[in-house]
Structure 1
Amino acid sequence: MSEPRVHPEVPIPRTYITTTIPYVNARPHLGFALELVQADVLARHRRREGDRVRLQTGTDDNSLKNVLAAEDAGVPVREFVDRNAAAFVALREPLSLSTDDVLRTSHDPRHRVGVEHFWRACADAGDFYRRYYEGLYCVGCEQFYAESELDGGRCPEHDVAPEHVAEENWFFRLSRYTGQLRDLVTSGRLRIEPAQRRNEVLGFLAGGLEDFSISRSAERARGWGIPVPGDPGQVIYVWWDALGNYLTALGYGSGGTGHQRWWLDSDRRIHLVGKGVLRFHAIYWPAMLLSAGQPLPTDIVVHDYLTHDGRKISKSAGNTVDPATLARECGTDAVRWWLLREVPRVGDADFTHARLVARANDELANGLGNLVHRVVAMVHRYRAGAVPHGGQEPDAERLDHACRVARAEAGKALAEFDFRNATAAVWAIVDEANRFVNQAKPWELAKAEREGAAPGALDAVLATLVRACRTVGEELAPFLPDAAARVTEACAERDGRLPAASPLFPRLADADDGTLAQAFD
């Protein structure tokens, strides 16, 4: 007898997903919550598909912007940074995030040693030199601008006039990597999505790259930040410092095993970023990695801005919407759902409380909540809470199709980082189930049964609807984990019976004074 064939173990894919790390010059705003929620959806989806996943976020503490904000507030820098950073870290609960780690650049001992190690690796590659420099510097962006890049002499991002800076700094030979970066982007080995942003990067590269300053005088930095190794009179440029977090959080330079596991050996290394920091992530960061001999990210996923009454939401503009407060007033599900359903893959999205309320009430309360409540109530009314084991309902073809294809269609959309289309695939089940209820009219089947009709027709309809609701609970999990759990619980049999029907979502009321109230129907 021949020996049984032994199949080698199929390796489990590893996926490393990161968000940018925001400045902590003020409390969090809804624009960053968008990035957190998108990253969380990807992480939950990939985990469900069987990947080993690490979801990483953090805070950028070492910016001059933070120092100046602390001075304006009359608060010591350390106290100011710690207080605001804590608000970012605390977003995990109100947004129902599944983050694996949060790194604070001024606080975490992994970070400084990793940044210093990265600096030395690039220095050893011969990519540093020191020279005198004069330029126009926007503290809000933490970057120098050429006059041609300004809009009427003002920063295009912050609408302020940059300050003139003259000092001697360390520079990185970015120009050395122009050709390699162009090849990586055009070949797709460095994937930048959507295509509009990929083309923007290629436009940067076509114009030629100039070396850039990677340090600041310690005096101008107010002594805040990581000193340049071997040159304590200089502080490492905050963007060089901050970009390194994607490695330092993994123990790079400090002997941790995470760097090997999640960077060197990962199948996917996905950065989610806003369009305002595209150049840093798609040009500076890959060049830095090439210099240090490190693999590049596989995917850079770029989202556009959230606006509020037509203006970009930002801390410096003072038109922020606090996501933790919003979640407390409207509920986590409503906030996540608006971000995933309303924000397009390409283009800015304007936020208003009224739009969030309308979306939550129309789809969550009236659409999904009402569907599950009606189905569970009918099972109790007509079958004493016991789910029938009816056959296939012939008129439910469209509903059955929506259930069968939801996971594949959502997965296809998420592979393109299209969160709106991904949620649409799940929502098709809700729409078809509500249509089917109105078409099948279970109440009329129940009446006919009381008048002597066979019970099979009503059993088949109820069984079909319960299956559909259970499928929604399963497929909604990456997007609305809390709501998905409630839907699943509402449709789970205990001792052969469903739990009593109860409301799943609050109906939100948008008050005239701008406050929000919740009322369960």
Structure 2
Amino acid sequence: MGHNSFYVTTPIYYVNDKPHIGHAYTTILADVLARYHRLMDEPTHFLTGTDEHGQKVQQAAKANNVSPLEHCNNTVVRFQELWQRLGITHDDFIRTTEPRHTQIVQAILSDLHERGLIYSASYKGWYCVPCERFYTEKDLVDGECPECHRNTEELEERSYFFKMSQYQDRLIDYIESHPEFIQPAHRRQETLGFLKKQPLGDLCISRPKARLSWGIELPFDHDYVTYVWFDALVNYISAVGYRTNNALFSQWWPASYHLIGKDILTTHTVYWPTMLMAMGVELPKTVFAHGWWLVGDTKMSKSLNNVVNPMAMIDQYGVDAFRYFLMAGMSLGQDASFTEKIFVERYNADLANDLGNLASRAIKMIERNFAGLMPPCAEIGDDERELATLCLAAAGSMAEAVKNMQLDNGLATVLATVREANRYFDKMKPWVLAKSGDLATLGRVLRHTMECLRIASGLLYPCMPEKMTILRRALGISEDAITPHMPRLSQWNVLSEGAKVALDEALFPRAEYKEDAPAAAPPAMAPTPKEKASKKGDAVPGVISIAEVGKVKLQTAEIIAAEPVANSDKLLKLQVRIDQDLRQIVSGIAKFYSPDSLIGKHVIVITNLKPAVLRGVESNGMLLAAEHQGVLRLITTDGPIPSGASVG
């Protein structure tokens, strides 16, 4: 891969799923990154697609009385239609049922088998149909799948295995010597913890046709098909010419970013790199695992019926507002909360009030006072110089944010310049200038406000291409320059004097959010004698009710990473696993524990504590500890128990 090329991928989505906010987020993120890199004149390739093999597809096809391929053809359109609605600009969409993919998977399998890296053996384990994965008994949580928490079934069968175990030490060395390979850093530590905790087993890469016939047939045994994960991961190289087009493959591989959700970290940071090592193929530059969108503090789940439907949000608030919220609302690598109320508040604050209102006010004044023609470039004063400096710096900040995968910070900087332009506009009082007839000063104010909007619209274009195209046309920018060019966003006074300026309707009309009326309280009942007696305790200082105790949510957690907080001799920054979630907690225990001594400890954490920022580091929870006469000890469990277990 050349230094100036950018290859980004999403996971290939399971065709049996209905697209939800998780699918939309990863794909929009890839699209926004691809668009930014195109604006920076970097050759860019963006791949997405669908995973179409496996047991769930076979079962669904049978239930609908169609062939598996017909079922895939009928359901893949859900993703293709949504990507079109979301304005996704992928360069390729791969389906794992395509010959260009299946042929490469079989070629890889043949090569590994011939070199003795795939062998046959009997296997006994617990199989989860929804996840299509085998687990050992110790992996199960209360007898259920550790991933989806559904029932498993014990199976014993002859299978084929990939010798993944022989790459364990090599993979550990690679991860430790290439810190950019797994990002963010706490996911890197999570994978290293997994690899160092126990010997790595070999990977079962087959399923017998007697149980599952819908898959890529093993080229060396026609009674078996390929395990869906071994099949699916190969898409990242089969789509860019591996074994078929060396020039194309060398142009794009290794990938710049595999974007994934944190729930598929192991497959992408253990299975995939060991497969590539066995093939003799260079590893991708970075696997980036983002967090989950939560509803409040709860993970979105079909079983809880709280999954956000992207189509519904698009229909109500528009594509670009939805894209903007997803990019601005999540710090990459951390979980984020999605509620319609939060969405509407950010939409109104950032888009309707700040950006949309500024554009409307400035353009209307040019229409009224300059016949809708862009005022000339005027001499710059101190106020304009300050605004210009801020806007031009935002272009550099956005480029840096893209490079560092901190899109939310970059967008926040751009919106800060828009707010500064609003303050400049209000300070200069152009309506007073218009009334007094000072058109020279009025033109200067409006011209520099429009320059700020030009730069902001360019920097926001990858997130909101439709709305920013409308805004850039409204600024009088010619059609050949509507798609912004990053170098031009670092220049001031670019707009053409005399260009036609017009905005027919509000860019972002204000949105209304109506909360459901609270349910009526049940009628009060006379207290029982026992309740009357308990009420006496309520007045005792220091005594609390059981209801108050219940407000504190305590859960078990496993510490998987720890490091000192900069410029503090008391604070440690910890990454803790709580069920499938990963949280960052800052704790004042540095004088009592070294970072290395904490790894693997099972502790008790308050998980519903309001987030706090300590020495510039966000903390989401509190560890419980006991202190006596200068000695501090963490409260831990007295035996093994899964992280995320409730305490109380």
2:366 corresponds to 1:375: no
SS in 2 for 1:171: strand
State the distance in 2 between where 1:500 and 1:292 align.
56
CA shift for structure 1 position 71: 4.3
In structure 1, the residue matched to 2:372 is: 385
Find the residue that maps to 1:224 and give its secondary structure. coil
1:507 aligns with 510
What's 1:67 paired with? 58
Aligned partner of 1:109 in structure 2 is 99
Which residue of structure 1 lines up, in the alignment, with residue 464 of structure 2? 480
Q: Which residue does 1:470 correspond to in 2?
A: 454
Mapped to 2, the partners of 1:509 and 1:68 lie a distance apart of 43
Residue 27 (1) aligns with residue 15 (2): no
Distance 1:347 1:135 in 2: 33
**CA spacing shift, 1:26–1:237, aligned 2, 3 Å:** same
Does the C-alpha gap of structure 1 residues 262 and 476 become closer, same or farther in structure 2, counting only changes over 3 Å? same
Name the structure 1 match of 2:156.
166
Q: Distance in 2 between matches of 1:169 and 1:403?
A: 61
In structure 2, C-alpha distance between the alignment counterparts of 1:125 and 1:317, rounded to whole Å: 47
Q: How do 1:24-423 residues align onto structure 2 when only pairs under 5 Å count? A: 24-71=15-62, 76-106=67-97, 108-188=98-178, 191-207=181-197, 208-221=199-212, 223-255=213-245, 257-263=247-253, 268-308=255-295, 310-314=297-301, 319-388=306-375, 389-423=377-411
Deviation string, structure 1 residues 389-424 (Cα, Å, up to 9, x no partner)? 222131244432321111221121222212211211
CA separation of 1:397 and 1:143: change in aligned 2, threshold 3 A: farther
Following the alignment from structure 2 to structure 1, what is the Cα–Cα distance between the partners of residues 61 and 427? 62
Contact kept? 1:125, 1:292, Cα under 8 Å: no
Quote the offset at 1:189 in angstroms: 6.4
Aligned AA (2:329): E
Equivalent of 1:496 in 490, 495, 499: 499
Report if the CA contact (8 A) 1:369-1:503 is conserved: yes
Q: For 2:508, what is the secondary structure of its paired residue?
A: coil
Range with bigger deviation, 96-105 or 495-504:
495-504
Instruction: Give the CA deviation at 1:55.
Output: 0.1
**Which one has the largest radius of gyration?**
2
Equivalent-residue separation in structure 1 for 2:276 and 2:85 (angstroms): 35
Q: How has the CA–CA distance of structure 1 residues 154 and 372 changed in structure 2, closer, same or farther, with 3 Å as cutoff?
A: same
- Code of the aligned partner of 1:361: N
Distance between the aligned counterparts of 1:253 and 1:55, measured in 2?
20
Q: Distance in 1 between matches of 2:64 and 2:342?
A: 34
Q: Structure 1 residues 350, 79: CA separation in 2 closer, same or farther (over 3 Å shift)?
A: farther
1:15 maps onto 2:6 in alignment? yes
Matched with 1:8 is none
Q: Report SS of the residue matched to 2:258.
A: strand
| Mapped pair 1:430 → 2:414 | no
Deviations 1:209-242 (A, max 9, x none): 1111011111211x10101112011110000000
- Partner Cα distance (1:26, 1:69) in 2: 11
Residues 390 and 417 in structure 2, CA contact (< 8 A), matched pair in contact too: yes
Is the 8 Å Cα contact of residues 15 and 262 (structure 1) preserved in structure 2? yes
- Label 1:17 to 1:126 Cα distance change in 2 as closer, same or farther (>3 A): same
The secondary structure found in structure 2 opposite 1:166 is strand
Taking a change above 3 Å as real, the CA distance of residues 166 and 62 of structure 1, as seen in their structure-2 partners, is: same
- For residue 489 of structure 1, give the secondary structure of its aligned residue in structure 2: helix
What do the CA deviations read for 1:13-48 (whole angstroms, capped 9, x no partner)? 222110001112232111011100111111111111
CA deviations 1:165-210 (Å, max 9, x no partner) are 2111111111111121112111116621111101001111112311
Q: Which shows bigger deviation, 421-430 or 73-82?
A: 73-82
- More helix per residue: 1 or 2? 1
* Pairwise CA distance, 1:12: 7.0
* Native 8 Å contact 2:320 2:467 kept in 1: yes
Q: What letter matches 2:142 in structure 1?
A: G
CA distance in 2, matches of 1:242, 1:227: 14
Distance 1:297 1:72, change over 3 A: same
**More off after superposition, 336-345 vs 27-36:** 336-345
CA distance in 2, matches of 1:103, 1:215: 22
Distance in 2 between residues matched to 1:42 and 1:470, nearest whole Å: 20
Aligned to 1:519: none
Cα pair distance change 1:82/1:313, threshold 3 Å: farther
Distance 1:137 1:312 in 2: 24
Whole-angstrom CA distance in 2 between matches of 1:385 and 1:477:
24
Distance 1:217 1:318 in 2: 35
Deviations 1:315-346, CA, capped at 9 Å, x for gaps: 57654333234323321111101111112223
Q: Which amino acid aligns with 2:510?
A: R
Which amino acid in structure 1 is aligned with residue 75 of structure 2? N
Cross-structure match for 1:4? none
Displacement of 1:350 after TM fit?
2.7
Conservation of the 8 A alpha-carbon contact between 2:257 and 2:285: yes
Q: Distance in 2 between matches of 1:189 and 1:343?
A: 23
Indicate conservation of the 8 Å contact 1:387/1:497, yes or no.
Answer: yes
The code of the aligned residue for 2:183 comes to E
Kindly indicate whether structure 1 or structure 2 has the higher relative contact order, using CA contacts under 8 Å at least 6 residues apart.
1
Q: What is the deviation of 1:371?
A: 1.0
Shift of 1:499: 2.0
Aligned to 1:518: none
Alpha-carbon shift at residue 121 of structure 1 (Å) = 2.8
Q: Does 1:443 align with 2:431?
A: yes
Q: Following TM superposition, by how much is the alpha carbon of 1:513 offset from its aligned partner in structure 2, in angstroms?
A: 8.0
Shifted more, 147-156 versus 423-432: the winner is 147-156
Matches within 5 A, 1:452-467: 455-467=439-451
* Counterpart Cα distance in 2 of 1:255 and 1:496: 48
CA displacement at 1:483 relative to structure 2: 1.8
Single out whichever of 483-492 and 276-285 deviates more from structure 2.
Answer: 483-492
My pick for the range that moved more, 418-427 or 171-180, is 418-427
- CA distance in 1 between counterparts of 2:439 and 2:80 reads 55
Cα deviation for residue 309 of structure 1 reads 5.1
| Cα distance per residue 1:106-160 (max 9 Å; x no partner) | 2x22111011112123224421111000111222222222333333222233121
Is 66-75 or 148-157 further displaced after alignment?
Answer: 66-75
CA gap 1:190/1:395 in 2 versus in 1, 3 angstroms = closer
Higher mean alpha-carbon deviation, 211-220 vs 418-427, is at: 418-427
Contact kept, 8 Å, 1:398 with 1:432, in 2: the verdict is no
